[in-house]
Amino acid sequence: MMNMKLSFRGWLTIVTLVLLTIVVIVAWPQIVKAGGLLAQVNILILLLLIPVQFASYYATGGMIFSYLRAKGELKQMSHWSMTRLALELNFVNHILPSGGAAGFSYLAWVLSRHKVPVSRSTMAQIVRFALTFLSFVLLLAIAMIILAFNHQIDRTIVVVGSGLMVVAVGGTLLGIWLIKSLDRLRKFSAFLTKTINRFINWVTRGKKLVIVKAEVFLEFFDGLHGDYMAIRRDRKILFVPFIWAIIANILDVALIWISFWSLGYPVDAALLFVAFGIASIAGAVSVTPGGAGVYEAVMVTFLAASNVPAEIAIAGTLLARVTLLSGTILFGYIFYQLTILKYGKQPTPIER
């Protein structure tokens, strides 16, 4: 028999999907009711998702490109092109089970056609994720204060909210700890190079001995460290991206709120911030494309545990996810194909 070892993410996904199956079985009567609620959707309210989703992609693009423009890159790229690229980026992350790695690679490839170094485009995405986390922590703290004043906070929300803050801040600090030391980065580069090549050698049974060259990774991480040190010397460069991050987080939660509103049940926005955060993190570590199945399971479970009627939690979550993913996949695919036609097929790491 083949000996298969699952990663932590793999086991987490399996456990979550098992729990999702149990939830579906136990909550089947509520799922049937949710199906009936979907037939009562206010289409005019639901159509608000279109401009709000566009604004969300615009904010995401603003986060990445305001940093790159401050570094002297992409002076000629229009705001429309930035928004479109943000949509393509989200599309790539949703169709590939990569935990965001595909998005890093895709953006670096597209921006390299605009003479942006790979290390700088990667730093732009690191800045995006770090500021998204930090701004979310700020908004989450505000949401929990609002819930406390409205007497809608319980032990579950406190534990989950506190856990989200620890994960967000801890992950950011860990990344900073690694990037700020050139020595640590170079050791990590050597480790990563050796690990990837050994893995590929094992997968191909010795047919490919080297897929990543040490000097390529070393140059990349040196550039990453240089950009980080430049940010430390001029922290004001992060002000505009941070504002965009706050706007993007608010819009992302607004998209879910609109879906519930269209059902005639506008859930407390502060509660949705907590639910959105835990579901997003669970979806991010999942191996399924876009966290499909995992995100919905966690969102529904948390909302139901927070006294939102189960049928409402199911109907609102599914309505939001299906509508938003449909728009992302449809338009993202079109723009993605146009980019492929313009630049050719994205090369593999070994071809770079």
Residues 161-216 have pLDDT tens digits of 677 677 767 777 887 788 788 888 888 877 877 777 777 677 666 666 556 666 76
Does residue 22 surpass a pLDDT of 70?
A: no
pLDDT of residue 111: 85
Give the per-residue pLDDT at 243: 94
Give how far Cα 302 sits from Cα of 157, 275, 276, 294, 309, Å.
9, 6, 10, 12, 11
pLDDT of 116-141, one tens digit each?
A: 888 788 888 888 887 888 888 888 88
3-class DSSP string for 99-115: CCHHHHHHHHHHHHCCC
pLDDT band at 349 (very low <50, low <70, confident <90, very high): very low
Burial 117-140 (b: 16+ CB within 10 A, else e): bbbbbbbbbbbbbbbbbbbbbebb
CA nearest neighbour of 50 among 244, 339, 259, 250: 259
Query: Directed axis angle between helix 49-70 and helix 239-262, to 10°?
Result: 170
Three-state secondary structure along 241-283? HHHHHHHHHHHHHHHHHHHHHHCCCCCCHHHHHHHHHHHHHHH
What's the pLDDT at 254? 92
pLDDT tens readout for residues 291-316:
555 677 778 777 877 778 877 888 88
The domain locations on the chain are 42-343
* Token pair 């079109």: residue: 334
The tens digit of pLDDT for each residue in 65-114 reads 888 888 888 877 887 888 888 888 888 876 665 545 566 778 888 888 88
Confidence (pTM): 0.71
Task: Say what the pLDDT of residue 26 is.
Answer: 55
Question: In the prediction, which pLDDT does 4 show?
Answer: 45
Confidence label for 282 from pLDDT (cuts 50, 70 and 90) = low
Angstrom distance (rounded) from CA 73 to CA 32: 52
Nearest CA-CA partner of 90 in 276, 273, 308, 289: 289
In the chain, the largest separation of any two C-alpha atoms, in whole Å, equals 63
Question: In the 8-state DSSP scheme, what is residue 180?
Answer: T
> What confidence category does residue 351 fall into, taking pLDDT thresholds of 50, 70 and 90?
very low
Q: What Å distances lie between residue 111 and 102, 224, 332, CA to CA?
A: 14, 16, 17
Mean pLDDT value of segment 36-58? 83
Average pLDDT, the chain: 75
pLDDT (tens digit per residue) in 206-258: 666 556 666 766 766 777 777 778 777 777 888 999 999 999 999 989 988 99
Could you tell me what percent of the chain has a pLDDT over 70?
70
pLDDT of residue 123: 80
Output the DSSP codes for 16-84.
HHHHHHHHHHHTHHHHHHHHHHHTT--HHHHTTHHHHHHHHHHHHHHHHHHHHHHTT--TT--HHHHHH
